[in-house]
Structure 1
Amino acid sequence: MLNIHMFSSATKVKGQGVGSAYLELIKLLRTTFPREMEIKINDFQKSDISHYHTVDFKFYLSTFTKKRGCKVGYVHFLPETLEGSLKLPGISKTIFNKYLISFYKRMDQLVVVNPSFIPKLMNYGIPEEKITYIPNFVAKSDFYPKSAPTQQYLRKQHGFDPNKFIVLGVGQIQERKGVADFIELARRMPDVQFVWVGGFSFGRITDGYAELKKKVDNPLPNLFFPGIVDREKMNDYYNMADLFLLPSYNELFPMSILEAFSSETPVLVRDLELYHAVIADYYLAAQDCDDMEVKIRDLQEHPEKMQDLQQKAQAAANYYSEERLAKIWLEYYQSLSKGK
C-alpha cells in the first residue's frame, strides 16, 4: 500500500478552484483505492509520496527532510497567471514570484492541469522530464443534469423568471475573470438574466476590488450576485442556467467549466489558446465582449445550436470522467514509487 501525504491549505479560502480540485482528488482516491493507498492530510511523518497542492511556507520548509519521499508539486498557477488576480506592491510581487518558482524547483515531480504550462515551466529552468500533465475532473455524483421540471422549480425558488434566458458565470470576482465584461453584457442585454456566483475571496487585495465592489453592491435589475455558494449547492445554479459563460482573460483548466460540462450546460468562453489543448471542440468561443453578445443572441434564437453545445458538454463530461482519471492517478503514483 502506498503511503501518500497530501499538503494543502486550499480549503481555508472559499470560492476558489484550487480547493475544489483538491477536494475532488482526495474524494476520488479514498473512494476508489482504499486498499492501494493510504491518504493522510498535512501529516509531516514519513511518507512514500508527498503531494503539495498549495505553496505554504511551512510546506516549503518540510521539503528539506528525507521523510517526504518523492515530492510532487501541483502547478495551479505561475507568476504570469496571477496578473489580474491579486494586487500586490511591486516588491511583494517580486518576492512571491521568486518564492513560487523556488517552491516548484524543490519538487521531484510537477503535475500541470494544462499542457500549455509545460514550456512555461521549462523557461523557468525546470526539466521537461519532471513535468506530467493530468487534467482536472469533477464527480458526476455532485454535478449532473436535473429534469426540466426541477430546473423550472429551481428558477422560481431562486426568484428568477422561468421564461428568461439565463447566463451563468462562476469564479472569484476579479479583473482576470472578465467580470467587467459580464456586467457590460448585462447592461446591453436587459432581457437576459445574468448570474455570477462567486465573491471577493481575497478581499481588498483582489485586483480591481474598489471598482468591481461598487458594481456588485449596486447591480443592474437583470444582474444577480449571490456571492460564494457552498459547493454542494452549485449544481442547482448550473441546472438553472441556459448557458455557462466564462469571460476570463487567463486560466489554467477551470473547475467551473468541468462542472458545467458535467451538468450538461452549454459552455461559451473567451477564445484563449490554452483551452485548445484541453477542451477543443467542446465549447463555443468568442473574441471579446461584442462577440459574446452576438454569440449569446444567436444561441437564444437557434435552439438547435444550444442542443449541439449541450451534446458537446456531454461528450466532454464523458472524456474527463472520474473512472479514467482515477486510473491515471493510480498509475502515476505507482510509477513514482517504483522510480524511488
Structure 2
Amino acid sequence: MLNIHMFSSATKVKGQGVGSAYTELIRLLETRFKGEFKITINQYGKSDISHYHTIDPQFFLSTFFKRRGQKIGYVHFLPETLEGSLTIPRPFKGLFYRYVIAFYKRMDHIVVVNPSFIPKLLKYNIPANKITYIPNFVSKKEFYEKTATEKSDLRNQYHLEQNKFIIFGAGQIQERKGVDDFVSLAKRNPDVQFIWAGGFSFGKMTDGYARYKKILDNPPANLRFPGIVPREELVDYYNLSNLFLLPSYNELFPMSVLESFACGTPVLLRDLSLYRSIIAGYYVAAANVDVMNEKISTLKKNQAAQEYMTERAREGAAYYSEERLAGIWHDFYLKQAEEGKR
C-alpha cells in the first residue's frame, strides 16, 4: 500500500478555491483507492509521498526531514497571481514572493492546475521534467443539475422571482475577481437579479477592503451579497441561476467554473488567455465590461442561446469529470513513488 502524507491548511480559510480543490482530491483518493493508498493528513512520519497543498512555514521545514519520500508541491498560485488579492507591506512582499518560489524549488516534483503556469515556472529555473499539469475537478455528488421543478422550488426558498433572469458570481471579494464590473453590470441591468457569493476570506488584508466593505453595506437594489456560502448550499445558487459570471482579471483554474459546468449553468468569463488553453468552447468570452453587458443582453433575450451554452457546460463537466481525473491522479502517484525509490 502506498503511504501518502498530505500537508494542507487550505480548509482553515473559508471561501477559497484551494480548499475546495484539496477537499475534492482527498475525498476522491479515500473513496476510490482505499485499498491502494493510505492517506494521512499533516502527519510527519515516514511516507512514500509527501504532497504539499499549501506553503506553510512548518511544511517547508518538514521537507528537510528524512524519510519524507517523494516531495510533491501543488502550485495553486505564483507571486504575480497574488497581485490584486492581498495587501502586503512592501518590505515583506519581496521576501514572501521569494519564499513562495523557494518552497516550490524544494519539491521533487510539482503539479500545476493550469498549463499557463509552466512557462512562468521555467523562468524561475524549475526544470520542465519536474512539472506536471493536472486540472481541478468537482464531484457530481455535490454539484449536479437539478430538475426544473427543483429549480423553481429553490427560487421560492431563496425568495427570488420565478421569471427573473438571475446572474450568479462566486469568489473572494477583491479587485482581482472583477467585483467592480459585477457591480457595474448590476447597475446597468436593473431588471436582472445579481448574486455574488463570497466574502473577505483574508479579512482586512484583502486588497481594497474598505472600498468593497462600503459596497457590501449599500449594494444596488438588484444585487445580493449572501456572504461566504457553504459548499453544500452553492449547488442551489448555480441551479437557480440562468448564468454564471466570473469577470476576473487574473485566475488560476477556478473551481466555481467547474461547479457551474457540473450544474449545467451557462458560463460567461472575461476573455483570458489561460481560459483558452483549458476550457475553450465551454463558455462565453467577453473582453471587457461593455461586451459582458452585450452578451448578457443576448442570453437574456435568446432562449436558444441559453440552451446552447447549457449543452457546452455539460460537455465541460464531462471532460473535467471525477472519473477521468481519478485515473490521472492514480497513475501520477504510482509514477512518483517509483521516482522516489530511485
- Counting only pairs closer than 5 Å after superposition, residues 230-241 of structure 1 correspond to structure 2 as 230-241=230-241
Distance in structure 1 (CA, Å) of the matches to 2:192 and 2:241: 11
Alpha-carbon distance in 2 for matches of 1:81, 1:72 = 21
3-state DSSP class of the match of 1:50? strand
Aligned twin of 1:152: 152
User: d(CA) in 2 for partners of 1:201 and 1:73?
Assistant: 23
Partner in structure 1 of residue 318 of structure 2 = 318
> Which digits, 9 at most, give the CA deviation of each residue in 1:148-200, with x for residues without a partner?
11111111111111111000000000000000100000011000000000000
Counterpart-to-counterpart distance in 1, 2:289 and 2:212? 17
1:82-132 per-residue CA deviation (whole Å, 9 max, x = no partner) reads 011001111111111000000000000000011110000010110000000
1:17 corresponding residue in structure 2 = 17
Residue 280 of structure 1 deviates from its aligned partner by: 0.7
Q: Give the partner amino acid of 1:198.
A: G
Give the residue type in structure 2 aligned to 1:209: Y
Q: For residues 210-253 of structure 1, what are the alpha-carbon distances to aligned partners after superposition, in whole Å with 9 as ceiling and x for unaligned?
A: 11110011111100000001111110000011000000000011
Aligned-partner SS, 1:68: coil
Q: Offset at 1:66? A: 2.1
Q: Secondary structure at the match of 2:155?
A: helix
SS in 1 for 2:88: coil
Partner of 1:74: 74
Report deviation, 1:335.
0.4
Using the alignment, how far apart are the partners of 2:220 and 2:149 within structure 1? 28
- Structure 1 segment 1-340 matched on structure 2, within 5 A: 1-340=1-340
Q: Which whole-Å CA distance do the structure 2 matches of 1:218 and 1:9 have between them? A: 33
TM-score by length of 1: 0.99
* Separation (CA, whole Å) in 1 of partners of 2:250 and 2:179: 12
The alpha carbon displacement at 1:338 in A equals 1.3
In structure 1, runs of 5+ residues without a counterpart are none
Q: CA deviation at 1:260?
A: 0.2
What is the CA-CA distance between 1:261 and the residue it aligns to? Answer: 0.3
Which of structure 1's runs of 4+ aligned residues deviate more than 3 A? none
Q: Which amino acid aligns with 1:294?
A: E
Alpha-carbon distance between aligned partners in 2 of 1:183 and 1:156, rounded to the nearest angstrom: 24
Distance 1:219 1:86 in 2: 23
Counterpart amino acid of 1:184? S
The 2-side partners of 1:226 and 1:67 are apart by 46
Q: Hey, what's the Cα distance between the residues in 1 that align with 2:232 and 2:64?
A: 38
For 2:173 and 2:294, locate their aligned partners in 1 and report how far apart those are by CA, in whole Å.
Answer: 24
Q: Distance in 2 between matches of 1:150 and 1:321?
A: 23
Distance 2:231 2:97 in 1: 30
Q: Structure 2 CA distance, aligned partners of 1:67 and 1:238? A: 44
Query: Following TM superposition, by how much is the alpha carbon of 1:271 offset from its aligned partner in structure 2, in angstroms?
Result: 0.2
- Whichever residue aligns with residue 249 of structure 1, its letter is Y
Extract unaligned runs of 5+ from structure 2: none
CA distance in 1, matches of 2:65, 2:203: 35
CA distance in 2, matches of 1:337, 1:88: 37
Equivalent-residue separation in structure 2 for 1:284 and 1:248 (angstroms): 14
Indicate conservation of the 8 Å contact 2:70/2:339, yes or no.
Answer: no
- Give CA-to-partner distance per residue, 1:49-83, whole Å, 9 cap, x none: 00000000000000001221100000000000001
RMSD: 0.6
Query: Aligned equivalents of 1:246 and 1:199: distance in 2?
Result: 15
Cα distance in structure 1, aligned partners of 2:47 and 2:277: 34
- 1:66 aligned counterpart, secondary structure: coil
Letter in 2 for 1:172: Q
**Identity of aligned pairs, percent?**
62
Distance 1:93 1:25 in 2: 30
